[in-house]
């Protein structure tokens, strides 16, 4: 049996960094990544045969856990009928209808293969619809790796986005204005200055790619109002939060639409104060494909109908709406019922609160931040509301905590800036494994030195 170390060395010979997506290389926690062999429910097994409780869940998609029988059956049946046709299938319509049932403001939906494509198409649409070029995004929000959306931080108003990646022409990053998240004043000033040039604002459902940073009360309502008063469009990127923070995503949780689906369960944490706003476009991914490559965008019919073949905004994909992916997505959404949302809400509250209590017991100041069932940790005295504050935390404490958990059989995100995920398969045995690992992990974080 090859060890993780051997597999990683072999991979590095042929794959840059040995991985097909950078965070998998364990760069921020150091050491050798586990090469995975199989998953079962809440457990993930590496090439050395070690099983751990999976708190990553493929970065979110596996809301029903690994190899859920109904999802596997749907996938096998679809695969047996054909892997791809490059022609429409009924499953695409059924999945689009299921998305719209949960998020009624997504009146029409186009399915694509990755979240990156969904956001890329959404920004092309808002530009096509408004005839304007500039896009506002918020520092620390991740929207996939397309050129214009990699533009990153730079505090203050209307910072011309500096490329966060080599290979992004300044002409392209210059079309993205990066503002601090949760800063209504900065947004207001930016609109006051360049309002007629702004095509749209893209924002994550709660920000969860700089650690979990929910919007402060009123911020999203302000985005909506400023977009309206300046003729710009609002894109909510729910690739991570969609169908996870509630049956109707972050938007459903935030607006109260999801009240009937477990989010208002007694004891549920991470439930924000209600606000009333409706984005023009939504981006979906992760859970919507149940672990297969599938994503989508949806929104107001008159905007969505600007997409080819009806309208002038082009978008296409050989594998878009793939029959096996849509089968996985449909089975996953159908399986993710009220009980599933209640369950993940309870499990995440139990685990995150146990960490919180232990941090308090040892006297280490840590902010446990939540958005629905998503949570993450900031080693900080004060709550974190933006990227600058997130980066200023004592991030070095995470590495020993990560490895302590890893050795104790708990697989968590190999970066302090990622959310933790649970699934309906996280049962008592899995939760107990995590709870037992907490005291040593918290001690390791407390003992860490910069
Ligand atoms: C993961 C993610 C994306 C990108 O999706 P991919 O499928 O990895 O391309 C976009 N937006 C958000 C909020 C995400 O979390």
pLDDT 10s digits, 270-313: 999 999 999 999 999 999 999 999 999 999 999 999 999 999 99
Consecutive H or E run containing 42: none
Q: Catalytic annotation on 398?
A: no
Averaged pLDDT for residues 312-338: 97
Kindly report, residue by residue over 396-433, the tens digit of the pLDDT.
999 999 999 999 999 999 999 999 999 999 999 999 99
| Average pLDDT over all residues of the chain | 94
DSSP string for residues in 179-225: E-TT-HHHHHHHHHHHGGGEEEEEEESSB-SSS-BPPPTTHHHHHHH
> CA angle 374-117-113, nearest 5°?
80
51-65, 68-82, 155-169 — which is least confidently predicted? 155-169
Consecutive H or E run containing 281: strand 281-284
Ligand 1 centre distance from Cα of residue 443 (Å): 33
User: CA-to-CA distance for 69 and 331, rounded, in angstroms?
Assistant: 10
Ligand 1 centre distance from Cα of residue 98 (Å): 21
For residue 408 the two structure tokens come to: 């104790």
Task: Tell me which residue has tokens 């022409």.
Answer: 169
Residue 152 has a pLDDT of 63
Q: Ligand 1 pocket check: which of 139, 141, 209, 288 to mutate, most ligand atoms within 8 Å of Cβ?
A: 209
Q: Is 371 left (phi over 0), alpha (psi -120 to 50) or beta?
A: beta
Q: Catalytic annotation on 286?
A: yes
With cut-offs at 50, 70 and 90, classify the pLDDT of residue 268: confident
Query: Of these residues, 46, 54, 183, 237, which one is catalytic?
Result: 237
Ligand 1 lining (C-beta closer than 6 Å): 114-116, 119, 142-144, 204, 209, 237, 239-240, 285, 295
User: CA-to-CA distance for 55 and 62, rounded, in angstroms?
Assistant: 10
Q: Is the pLDDT of residue 159 over 70?
A: no
- Give me the residues paired with residue 282 across strands: 236, 298
Query: Of these residues, 46, 137, 142, 341, which one is catalytic?
Result: 142
Ligand 1 centre distance from Cα of residue 119 (Å): 8
DSSP string for residues in 51-111: EEEESSGGGTT-TT-BT-HHHHHHHHHHHHH-S--SS--HHHHHHHHHHHHH-TT--EEEE
Kindly report, residue by residue over 16-51, the tens digit of the pLDDT.
999 999 999 999 899 999 999 999 999 999 999 999
Ligand 1 centre distance from Cα of residue 239 (Å): 5
Residue 158 has a pLDDT of 30
Consecutive H or E run containing 287: none
Residue 161 has a pLDDT of 45
- At 203, phi and psi to the nearest 5? -145, 145
- Give me the residues paired with residue 233 across strands: 200
User: CA-to-CA distance for 405 and 440, rounded, in angstroms?
Assistant: 8
Residue 265 has a pLDDT of 67
């Amino acid at each position: 049996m090859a060890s993780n170390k051997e597999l990683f060395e072999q991979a590095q010979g042929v794959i840059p960094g040995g991985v097909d997506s950078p965070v998998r290389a364990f760069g921020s926690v150091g050491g050798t990544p586990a090469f995975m062999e199989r998953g079962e429910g809440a457990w993930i097994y590496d090439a050395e045969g070690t099983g751990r409780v999976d708190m990553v869940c493929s970065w979110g998609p596996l809301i029903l856990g690994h190899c859920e029988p109904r999802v596997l059956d749907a996938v096998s049946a679809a695969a047996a009928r054909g892997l791809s046709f490059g022609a429409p299938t009924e499953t695409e319509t059924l999945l689009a209808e299921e998305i719209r049932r949960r998020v009624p403001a997504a009146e029409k939906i186009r399915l694509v293969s990755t979240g990156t494509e969904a956001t890329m198409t959404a920004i092309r649409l808002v530009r096509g619809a408004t005839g304007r070029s500039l896009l506002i995004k918020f520092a620390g929000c991740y929207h996939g790796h397309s050129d214009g959306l990699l533009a990153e931080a730079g505090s203050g108003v209307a910072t011309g986005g500096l490329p966060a990646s080599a290979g992004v022409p300044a002409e392209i990053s210059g079309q993205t204005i990066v503002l601090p998240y949760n800063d209504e004043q900065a947004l207001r000033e930016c609109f006051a200055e360049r309002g007629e040039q702004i095509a749209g604002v893209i924002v994550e459902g709660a920000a969860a790619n700089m650690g979990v940073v929910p919007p402060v009360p009123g911020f999203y309502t302000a985005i909506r109002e400023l977009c309206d008063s300046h003729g710009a469009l609002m894109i909510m990127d729910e690739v991570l939060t969609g169908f996870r923070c509630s049956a109707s995503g972050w938007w459903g949780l935030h607006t109260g639409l999801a009240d009937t689906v477990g989010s208002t369960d007694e004891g549920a944490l991470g439930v924000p104060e209600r606000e009333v706003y409706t984005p023009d476009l939504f981006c979906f991914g992760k859970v919507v494909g149940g672990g297969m490559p599938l994503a989508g965008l949806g929104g107001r019919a008159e905007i969505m109908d600007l997409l080819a073949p009806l309208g002038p905004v082009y978008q296409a994909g050989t594998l878009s709406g793939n029959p096996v992916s849509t089968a996985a997505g449909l089975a996953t959404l159908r399986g993710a019922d009220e009980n599933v949302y209640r369950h993940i809400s309870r499990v995440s509250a139990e685990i995150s609160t146990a960490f919180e209590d232990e941090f308090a017991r040892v006297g280490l100041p840590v902010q446990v931040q939540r958005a629905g069932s998503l949570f993450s940790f900031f080693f900080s005295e004060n709550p974190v509301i933006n990227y600058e504050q997130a980066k200023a935390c004592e991030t070095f404490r995470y590495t020993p905590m990560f490895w302590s958990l890893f050795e104790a059989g708990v697989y968590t995100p190999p970066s302090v800036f990622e959310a933790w995920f649970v699934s309906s398969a996280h049962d008592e045995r899995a939760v107990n494994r995590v709870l037992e690992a907490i005291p040593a992990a918290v001690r390791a974080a407390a003992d860490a030195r910069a």
